[in-house]
Structure 1
Amino acid sequence: MELCGDFVQELGGASGGSGGWGVPVNQIPLRVLPAFLGSAPALGTAHLQHFLTCLRRQAAVAISQELSRLASHSPGPSTWIHQVRRRSSLLSSRLEEKPFSEMEMSYIKQGEEALQKSLRILEDQDDWKTETVAGNGDKVLSKVLPDVGKVFRLEVVVDQPLDTVYGELVDNMEQMGDWNPNVKEVRILEKIGKDTVITHEKAAATPGNIVGPRDFVSVRCSRRRGSTCVLAGMSTTYGAMPEQEGFIRAENGPTCMVLRPLPGSPSQTRLTWLLSIDLKGWLPKTIINQVLSQTQVDFAKHLRQRLARPVPVAC
């Protein structure tokens, strides 16, 4: 198998692309690879990086070929072979992606941190207290965490399949202000890869202006594993979006929404929303608690109305 022929020629000297080893680069035994890499100063940084890229590509191709060989000797490919082949294909495609900058990586890590923290909170079933139970079964629970403060948990069932709910909350994120009166605007400031975004959200003032306008700058990430989707986020700083006149910069997170098909009814989706917000300013806790729990109940109502609207038919 040829390993990046242009690179072989650059290293090879007089013949065969041996790089002074007497064999083509693609035939260098793994046991002597450390010694080969030890010659990095002589090769130059650009040559070394190119070689490593080629080596990773070759590994991905070899894995894919071996999986195909295994599959051909069995009655039918097993589930794990499909999964590993898919991951191998993802690896090959990602080798061609532009690497993330240090700042982008920090945002990706913040999103992952928000996701992991949120799931740990939701996994702990102890000490949740009921705040509100609506007539349709929608429920808001709460608990106080030492390092976070009071968090709220909405549990609802939506009469729409998971893909529809996911599309509205993720793909159509910037349209949320069109159907949720508690949201004035959601704007994506930057996309990082396929799963992470930086957003600026403006919350509308509450009736009677009990709680004035707030805004948030957040990092959000989405993960989809099988039939479960997790949308997580937390506040972050973003140089291009300083504090705005007329708004108090509040903080949120860790927060997340978990979407799962209702067992036995794939046309319905169970939605769990963990909400953690510091509204800032001088507000009594009783007002804050009432506003946040009501915000979750209202969200479920407005989401149902949005999803129940007739879908425009293209001419």
Structure 2
Amino acid sequence: MSSEEASLTLYDVTDTLEKDDEKYAKALQIAGEVFGEVEALFNDENYESRQGWFKDESNDDGDIVFAKDTRQGRMVTISTELPMPPDFVMKETWEGMETLPEWNQNINFASVIASPTPNFDIVTYGNNDVLVVSGREFVSARIWRKLDDGSYLLASRSVSIPSFKSKHKGKVRAHLHLAGARFRPNPANPETTLTDVVMLADLKGFLPKMLVNQVIGRVMLMDTVTNRRHFHDLKAKRDENEDS
């Protein structure tokens, strides 16, 4: 294995795998690839204007899931405002992986398989049943960077980890083609974060395409509402501690 395969540099930060973690070199390179794809997507002027996207799901809170159909399936995205600064949002999103089932009713289980560097890890998680689609399991590599403008970019893609044996029998292993989140400082209020999330997944199994398309947008909408509520709860606790 070359030293290039066991390290990755993005935005002047280098992830270097220790000897014991070199088995995750392919996962690290896959994480780097999806990071570039997510960054390009968010920076595309057509993304900002939602040119080429259509409205898929919405709620009374004003949340709108936009979607576009690709060769790999339906890609969905949503934007929202979270009531905490970007540094806090990124830290909670990254480090709070294993607590997801405690507050997100859509998540059945979540854990970190390996955390080779502060900016790169491998996780597994499973969602609960949605409509008539049974819960799926994912195994993916995640990577994040702080960008030059003070925002953060997080990207994830499914990876194969031969040494990992799932403890959750009966769950179909889905494939995450691409998932990403961008956390930007809100120019109108530095105490809040402008958040964009995008996802493209193959749920696998014998499911009608129409049903899969219904489920993916609905799950993203549910997750957005739940996630925002979680950050409101965290803000309330922080404010309470500051006042006491």
CA distance in 1, matches of 2:105, 2:21: 37
Decide whether the 8 Å contact of 2:82 with 2:231 is kept in 1.
no
Decide whether the 8 Å contact of 2:56 with 2:67 is kept in 1.
yes
What amino acid is the match of 1:142?
A
CA distance in 2, matches of 1:101, 1:301: 36
Show the 5 A alignment for 1:80-159.
98=18, 102-124=22-44, 125=46, 126-146=51-71, 148-159=72-83
1:229 matched to 2:152: yes
TM-score by length of 1: 0.64
Decide whether the 8 Å contact of 1:254 with 1:275 is kept in 2.
yes
What amino acid is the match of 1:279?
L
* Partner-residue secondary structure (3-state), 2:237: coil
CA distance in 2, matches of 1:99, 1:245: 31
Aligned twin of 2:138: 216
CA distance in 2, matches of 1:120, 1:150: 18
Structure 1 residues 242, 254: closer, same or farther in 2, change over 3 A?
same
Decide whether the 8 Å contact of 2:58 with 2:221 is kept in 1.
no
CA deviation map 1:208-263 (0-9, x unaligned): xx111210111111111241111110001112324542110111121101110122
What amino acid is the match of 1:133?
S
Structure 1 residues 106, 268: closer, same or farther in 2, change over 3 A?
same
Decide whether the 8 Å contact of 2:65 with 2:221 is kept in 1.
yes
CA distance in 2, matches of 1:215, 1:133: 26
Name the structure with the higher strand share. Answer: 2
TM-score by length of 2: 0.81
CA distance in 1, matches of 2:92, 2:21: 30
Between the aligned residues of both structures, percent identity stands at: 22
Which entry has the higher C-alpha Rg, 1 or 2?
1
1:280 matched to 2:204: yes
Decide whether the 8 Å contact of 2:55 with 2:64 is kept in 1.
yes
CA distance in 2, matches of 1:135, 1:203: 24
Shift, 1:102, TM fit: 4.1
Name the structure with the higher helix share. Answer: 1
Decide whether the 8 Å contact of 1:138 with 1:157 is kept in 2.
no
Length, aligned pairs only: 221
CA distance in 2, matches of 1:130, 1:268: 25
Shift, 1:267, TM fit: 1.4
Structure of greater relative contact order (alpha carbons < 8 Å, 6+ residues apart): 2
CA distance in 1, matches of 2:81, 2:136: 29
* Partner-residue secondary structure (3-state), 2:140: strand
Shift, 1:100, TM fit: 7.5
CA distance in 1, matches of 2:97, 2:191: 22
Indicate the RMSD between aligned Cα atoms, in angstroms: 2.5
Segments of structure 1 that go 5 or more residues without pairing to the other structure are: 1-86
1:172 matched to 2:92: no
* Partner-residue secondary structure (3-state), 1:275: strand
CA distance in 2, matches of 1:205, 1:101: 34
Decide whether the 8 Å contact of 1:220 with 1:231 is kept in 2.
yes
What amino acid is the match of 2:237?
V
Structure 1 residues 201, 98: closer, same or farther in 2, change over 3 A?
closer
Show the 5 A alignment for 1:17-28.
none
CA distance in 2, matches of 1:285, 1:269: 34
1:307 matched to 2:227: no
Segments of structure 2 that go 5 or more residues without pairing to the other structure are: 1-11
Structure 1 residues 119, 225: closer, same or farther in 2, change over 3 A?
closer
Decide whether the 8 Å contact of 2:39 with 2:153 is kept in 1.
no
What amino acid is the match of 2:59?
A
CA distance in 1, matches of 2:43, 2:147: 17
Aligned twin of 1:247: 171
CA distance in 1, matches of 2:18, 2:211: 47
What amino acid is the match of 1:214?
R
CA distance in 2, matches of 1:204, 1:98: 35
* Structure 2 residue corresponding to 1:202, chosen from 111, 114, 126: 126
